[in-house]
Structure 1
Amino acid sequence: MSTTKGVLYLIPTRLGDNPPLEVLPISIKKIIEELDYYIVENEKTARRFIKRVSPSKSQPSLKLQVLNKYTTEEERSTFLNSCLSGISIGLLSEAGCPAIADPGADIVALAHQMDIKVVPLVGPSSIVLALMGSGMNGQSFTFNGYLPIDKSERKSKIKALERISSEHNQAQIFIETPYRNMKMLEDLANMLHPETRVCVACDLTLPTEFIKTKTAKEWKHNKEDFHKRPAIFIIQKN
C-alpha cells in the first residue's frame, strides 16, 4: 500500500517586527503547531518567528532546510522528499508570502512536478497591500521586481514602464533596495511625465505605515524620509 503524500504549506510571515497574530490569521498558528519540517531562508529568523507564533512548540523537534542563493539544484531536489513519506512541510518566507518575489517559487514548482498538494495560506503581501492602497488599476498590473542600477538603463526602464502603463491602463509595480529608496523617488519625480501618478507604500502593516499616491510633479516637493524603510513603488500614466 502506498503512503499518502504530505502537503506543502505556504506559510506567510510578518512584514516587520510586529506581533504575528496582529497581521496573521489564527490558522497560521494551528498549522505551525502541527508541523516540524520547514524550508526557510534563514534558520535563526525562522526559529524566532515560529517561537513568537507558538511559544510552546519544541524547538529541538524542528527540522529546517535552508533555501537561499547558495542552495544547489541538487540540494533543492531533495527538499520535498519527506512529503513522499507522508510528512507535511511548511515553506516560510523571510517576509510576506512565500513564492511571491521569493526563492520559494522553485520549491512550489518542484511540488507540482512531484504531484504533492500545495496549500497557500492567507497572510500579508506587500505587493498586494500596496496596490490596494494606491488607487491604481487593480484589474491590470505587473510586478517588475528590481529596476536596473545603471542610470541610463534605469531611465530607459522607467520610461518603458510608463509607456506600457499608458498604453494598457496598467499599474506598474516594482521594488528597490531600501537604502536606495530616496534616489528611486528622485528619479521617478524627474524622469516621469509630471502628471504620471506615483505611489510609495512604506512599512506596510507597521505602526509607521505610509501610503501616498501623488503626481511625479508633486513628489518633487517630498519631505518624507524613506531611507532604509521597506517600500513598494507603483506608477501609472492615464
Structure 2
Amino acid sequence: MIGKLYLIPTTLGDTEPLEVMPLSVKKVVEEIDYYIVENEKTARRFIKKISPKKSQPSLQLMSLDKYADEMETRKYLDVCNEGINVGLLSEAGVPAVADPGATIVKMAHEKNIKVVPLVGPSSILMAMMSSGMNGQNFAFNGYLPIDKGDRKRALKDLEKLSKDKNQSQIFIETPYRNEKMFADLKAILAPTTNLCIAADITLPSEYIKTLSIKDWKFQTPDLHKKPAIFIIHK
C-alpha cells in the first residue's frame, strides 16, 4: 500500500490549535512521524502544542525552505512507497496556498500518491468571507511590486479589473511594509473604491474592516508588523 500525503493546516498565530481547527487534524498529527516543513523549530512547536504526548525524537522533519536542494526534495515522498504517510505543514494557515508546498503536492500527483487536504484556517478565505465583497468572483494576486511606479500601475490595473469583471482583488504585503501599502492605497485608488483590511485573523487582536477609500482617509488602523490581507473592489 502506498502512503498518503496529508496537507496539514497550522494556526495563523499563537492560538490554541483546537480553537480554530477540527479534532481530525490532531488525530492525523498523532499518527504521522514524517513531515515536510518550512521551519523545523516552528513545526515542532505546533506538533507539540496540538499533540503534547507525541514523541519528539520520533519525528523526521524534511526542510522545504528557500535553501532546500531541489534534487533532495524530490526524494521527500519516497517513503510513501513503503506505506508511510507524510504530512505537509505550512508555516501559517493551509499548505500550498500562497505557500511553497504546492511543489510537493504537484510531485505527489506525478507519483500517483493520494493527496488528503485537511480543514483549517486560511487567512485569504477568511478575509474574503468577512469583507462583504463579491465572494462569487475573486482573485488572489500574492505580493504586489515594491517599486513605486510598478506598484501604482498594478493597483490601478487591479482596480480596473475589479470594475470590469465585478471581481474582488486580494493581495498581501510583508507585515513591516503594511503601513506603506495602506498609504499607497489611499493615494492611488479612486475615492469610491472599497478596501477591506483583515489583520491578525483568528487572534485576540483581530481587525477586519471594509470602507471606501474616501472613508479610510479618516482611519488609522495599527497594521505595523501584523499579517494582513488587503481586498479591493471598485
TM-score range with shorter-chain normalisation? Answer: over 0.9
Three-state SS of the structure 2 residue aligned to 1:182 is: helix
Aligned: 1:145 with 2:142? yes
The 1-side partners of 2:222 and 2:5 are apart by 40
2:228 maps to which of 219, 225, 231: 231
Aligned: 1:41 with 2:25? no
2:82 maps to which of 73, 81, 85: 85
The number of equivalent residue pairs is: 234
TM-score by length of 1: 0.97
Q: Aligned-pair distance for 1:221?
A: 1.4
Three-state SS of the structure 2 residue aligned to 1:39 is: strand
**Cα displacement string for residues 168-227 of structure 1 (whole angstroms, at most 9, x for unaligned residues):** 000000000001111111111110110000000000001111100001111111122111
Give runs of aligned pairs for residues 1-238 of structure 1, distance below 5 A: 4-237=1-234
Point out where structure 2 has 5 or more consecutive residues left out of the alignment. Answer: none
**Cα displacement string for residues 125-181 of structure 1 (whole angstroms, at most 9, x for unaligned residues):** 000000000001111111000000000000000000000000000000000000111
Point out where structure 1 has 5 or more consecutive residues left out of the alignment. Answer: none
The 1-side partners of 2:5 and 2:228 are apart by 29
Three-state SS of the structure 2 residue aligned to 1:159 is: helix
Q: Kindly report the root-mean-square deviation, in angstroms, between the aligned alpha carbons of the 2 structures.
A: 0.6
Task: Percent identity, please.
Answer: 64
- Which residue identity does 1:47 align to in structure 2? R
Q: Aligned-pair distance for 1:68?
A: 1.0
**Contact kept? 1:190, 1:220, Cα under 8 Å:** no
TM-score by length of 2: 0.99
**Contact kept? 1:29, 1:53, Cα under 8 Å:** yes
Q: Aligned-pair distance for 1:85?
A: 1.2
Three-state SS of the structure 2 residue aligned to 1:221 is: coil
